[in-house]
Structure 1
Amino acid sequence: MAEAITTDLPPELSDIELRLGRRVSELRTARGYTQDRLASETGFTKGYLSKIENSKIIPPIGTLIKIAQALHTDLAELLGTETAERSDAICIVRSWERESVVHGEEAFGYDYVALANKRRHKRMEPFIMVFPNEMAHEMRFDHEGEEFLFVTDGKVEFSFMIDGREQQWILSAGDSLYFDSNIPHRGRSIKGESKALVVIFRPPDQADDAPKRPPLTIFGS
């Protein structure tokens, strides 16, 4: 995953974004990890992780998922969501309880709103995502797990790097996409504001021996 760095952060950071760097540092220390070890586990450089911990940059969701996985936790704990419920088997999040996890200006154009921020220790991370209209061609994201995307508004160009070649699909409202998240990927809006329901799933470790399947499945509306 590219380590795009933005140091001129706007002042209107959410509470979650303001405490993100501190939470990463606290959890890393609690796990007994050095920055060097976390860098080795995630594939990011020590300098990049240092900027995250010192709140010099706000990384995208894919990066946060990789850090959470390396620290054997989930996004709710990593983000320090104060309303998270640790043990309830049922989690209801009212519309007014949604939390903007990362704003588009800091996350390379993507804007994420958490839909299950009150539940911790979950294997699925559901979001509403707003796509940027433009982003650097070399910018792609990858992380362990699987991802489901359902376009609710607009039109999205989704791009993957498969066997060294770029492949693209245009998705309209009502179309859906299921893929292995370790495929380098990115999406951008090509018609006004485009939104999608996104669910990221990380299988348990023992699922590594699961049978092979096609990496991409696309469903039309």
Structure 2
Amino acid sequence: MYDEIKKDIEGQFKDFPRKKVARWDMAIQALLTEKSDGTKPLPIGWLSERAGLSKSYLLNVISGKIKDPPSEKLIRIAESFKISFPEFSMRAMGEHPASFFKTGFGQRGYIEYSQHGFSIQSLCPPGTSNRDFFFGLMTIKPLKELKRWKFQDNSMIGIYVEQGTLEIMHGGKLRRLNSNESAYFDASIPHRFKNIDTFEARIFLVTRPPIH
């Protein structure tokens, strides 16, 4: 089931950048504004003079035409702003859209599996590595038992039951989670969820690595 969810949700995020890259262009623009004493950003000429780089080269970096400048030139730019290269790199990585992702309704992936009796809503951007996680909201119809699930090896899941009562069959053992209770378990072991209440269950779900 996880593979099916992964495929369906990834289809809704197909235009989202999957790999984090340093946004040197945005970091430089932010620093030109931050280091200015006035209301306007420092001019490119200011940076060109201090870094010993041509205006045309810097404009190509800022416009995104040059996406990965040589490290020696980036060090000169960092020194011009009187910051270290590691700090400059951290700021450039921080400009990537996946570094801070606010999810309004329009940014959430949502899949309704009416044939299986549940829905899942992604509350996070696509993962960029196994160090990331998936955060979502799952609803299960009243008295509905889902088919057996099994995630990949070395995967973990955390769930929090906001509403309803959930039975979890995990590795041959039956557990129960009431509303306002949570659990954390090895998702590579086959498991099954069942809503044993007569109303919809709402469950917050976190997986690592991310589902999508």
TM-score by length of 2: 0.52
- What does residue 149 of structure 2 align with? 141
Q: Which amino acid aligns with 1:152?
A: E
Whole-Å Cα distance in 1 between the matches of residues 177 and 17 of structure 2?
35
> SS of the residue aligned with 1:63?
helix
CA contact (8 A) 1:155 1:172 kept: yes
- What does residue 201 of structure 1 align with? 208
TM-superposed CA distance for 1:100, in Å, is 4.3
Q: Which amino acid aligns with 1:202?
A: P
Whole-Å Cα distance in 2 between the matches of residues 185 and 141 of structure 1?
5
| Residue-by-residue CA offset, 1:74-102 (whole Å, 9 max, x unaligned) | x86x4251562443252323332343432
Which structure has more helix as a fraction of its residues? 2
TM-superposed CA distance for 1:195, in Å, is 0.7
What RMSD, in angstroms, separates the aligned Cα atoms of the two structures? Answer: 2.6
TM-superposed CA distance for 1:202, in Å, is 1.9
CA distance change for structure 1 residues 120 and 202 in 2, over 3 Å: closer, same or farther? closer
- Match runs of 1:1-221 below 5 Å: 60=1, 62-64=2-4, 78-82=10-14, 84-86=16-18, 87=20, 88=96, 89-106=98-115, 108-117=116-125, 119-122=126-129, 123-132=132-141, 133-135=143-145, 139-144=147-152, 145-160=155-170, 162=171, 166-191=172-197, 192-202=199-209
CA distance change for structure 1 residues 124 and 111 in 2, over 3 Å: closer, same or farther? same
CA distance change for structure 1 residues 195 and 96 in 2, over 3 Å: closer, same or farther? same
Segments ≥4 residues shifted beyond 3 Å: none
Q: Percent identity?
A: 18
The alignment of Structure 1 onto Structure 2 pairs a total of residues equal to 127
Whole-Å Cα distance in 2 between the matches of residues 154 and 98 of structure 1?
27
CA distance change for structure 1 residues 135 and 155 in 2, over 3 Å: closer, same or farther? closer
| Residue-by-residue CA offset, 1:98-122 (whole Å, 9 max, x unaligned) | 434321314x1221000013x4414
Larger radius of gyration: 2
Q: Which amino acid aligns with 2:188?
A: N
Structure 2: state its 5+ residue gaps.
21-95
Q: Which amino acid aligns with 1:64?
A: E
- What does residue 18 of structure 1 align with? none
Q: Which amino acid aligns with 2:160?
A: F
**Which of structures 1 and 2 has the larger relative contact order (alpha carbons within 8 angstroms, sep 6+)?**
2
TM-superposed CA distance for 1:174, in Å, is 1.3
CA contact (8 A) 1:85 1:120 kept: no
CA contact (8 A) 2:156 2:186 kept: yes
Whole-Å Cα distance in 1 between the matches of residues 4 and 100 of structure 2?
22
CA contact (8 A) 1:131 1:193 kept: yes
> SS of the residue aligned with 2:105?
helix
CA contact (8 A) 2:145 2:195 kept: no
Structure 1: state its 5+ residue gaps.
1-59, 69-74, 204-221
